[in-house]
Amino acid sequence: MKIRRTAIATAVCGGFLLTACSSSGFGSDSSAEQKTSGKQDLTVMIGSSGDAETNAVKAAASAWAKKTGNKVTVVPAQNLDQQLGQALAGGSPPDVFYVGSSVFANYAKGNSLYAYGDKLPEKDDFSETLRKSFSYDDKFVCAPKDSSTLALAVNTKMWKAAGLTDADYPKSWDDLAKTARKLTTDKVSGLVLSSSYDRIGAFIKQAGGGITNADQTKITADSPANVEALTYVKKLLTDGVLKFPKQVDTGWGGEAFGTEKAAMTIEGNWLTGAMSTDYPSVDYKVVPLPAGPKDKGTLSFSTCWGVANKSAHHDAAVSLVEAFTTAEQQVTFAGAYGVLPSRTSALESFQQKHPQDKAFVDGAAYAQGPVTVPGFTKVLTQFDTDLAELATADPKKILSDLQANGEQVLKSAN
């Protein structure tokens, strides 16, 4: 499984900003007449990673339906972006649905989402980073359904063969470069990771940089810290100790790691499920990402439980979301399909049951959340394209272009 950003705006109306769509879909301020009594029939649309996730959501929905006397139909979308976008634009959306953090602001600005987050009695149990990822105009809009962070996975057999011990797990950028060099052979790359911001962005955080300031009101891409981060990654590439997946004929870091074309990779906790399913014979250990010149740093990924503004079942939908996001239910979901709970109170219980995921859990405390500026998906897509050529490109030029593109979108978003 890989985490990818998606461009719903393009799928729905072909425009640069989702909020440019017609008022009949995203721009309407009206909500349907609410049904607050009697049995209610809700539809939940999800973008499922597979049968395990689908079955887990269906089981939780069934339990809530049995308890409340309502009915819930869970729809695993074949293409969530397209199907959800069309349903929202058409004015007949599902009541509850997955919303990725990278496109959340597009929907929020378009008034497609019912803002219920501040009404949740235990809203503060979601980390500040996650609440911020799903807030718009100072409102906590929707509850994070789970989370993921990045960590460093190490092939233990290759590690020992290179004469490395537990004491050698990299704590700094220098350590990472040295161990990657020791692990690199004619057939194995010391480190393989995706060329996207969703991986390289961790180095930006570790250098003390970022694409925006803390409240995402200013683009800060063209900074010395960001240049330092990309320059470091570029050196790993030119030294031949880091390769991108396509350079080793694989689709993502987990595949390179699982097929033992990489001794190390930087991936999220979804790697655990992929390794147990596809590469069960590979022994490995997951450790925290090394700290950079400024601090520790990793990235946070999440999806929220969106409730449609046009749904006629707001109260029932929020009740269902509350059932989906209890600490106990989140631990069940996490164990079923390889995510982390988004509630702080559930993380300790999860870690006790899954000690191998400690590095991912610990990273939740200092992870950098995504950029949630409306329309920013296209900017990040271009940034990813530029990062893919980092080995031969000028980091300053890449960041200068990111700065200009980001400022253009931020100006349009305000």
Give pLDDT tens digits for 304-349. Answer: 999 999 999 999 999 999 999 999 999 999 999 889 999 999 998 9
For 2-105, strand residue ranges (E) read: 41-46, 71-76, 96-100
Candidate from 51-65, 88-102, 169-183, 284-298 with smallest mean pLDDT? 88-102
Q: Which helix (H) or strand (E) holds 335?
A: helix 327-337
Summarize pLDDT for 211-261 with one digit per residue, the tens. Answer: 999 999 999 999 999 999 999 999 999 999 999 999 999 999 999 999 999
Single out the residue of 160, 149, 93 nearest to residue 370, CA to CA. Answer: 149
pTM of the model: 0.88
Candidates 135, 97, 140, 96; CA nearest to 116 is 140
- Range list for CATH 3.40.190.10 in the chain: 8-148+301-368, 149-299+374-413
What is the per-residue pLDDT across 118-153, written as a single tens digit (0 to 9) for each?
A: 999 999 999 899 999 999 999 999 999 999 999 999
Q: How confident is the model at residue 20 (pLDDT cuts 50, 70, 90)?
A: very low
CATH number of 149-299+374-413: 3.40.190.10
Total count of residues recorded for the chain: 414
pLDDT of 31 reads 58
Fold of 8-148+301-368: D-Maltodextrin-Binding Protein; domain 2 (3.40.190)
What pairs with residue 287 in β-bridges?
152
Q: H or E stretch including 139?
A: strand 139-140
Average pLDDT, the chain: 91
CB 122 within 8 A of CB 320: no
Q: Which residue has the higher pLDDT, 31 or 27?
A: 31
Check residue 349 and give its pLDDT. 92
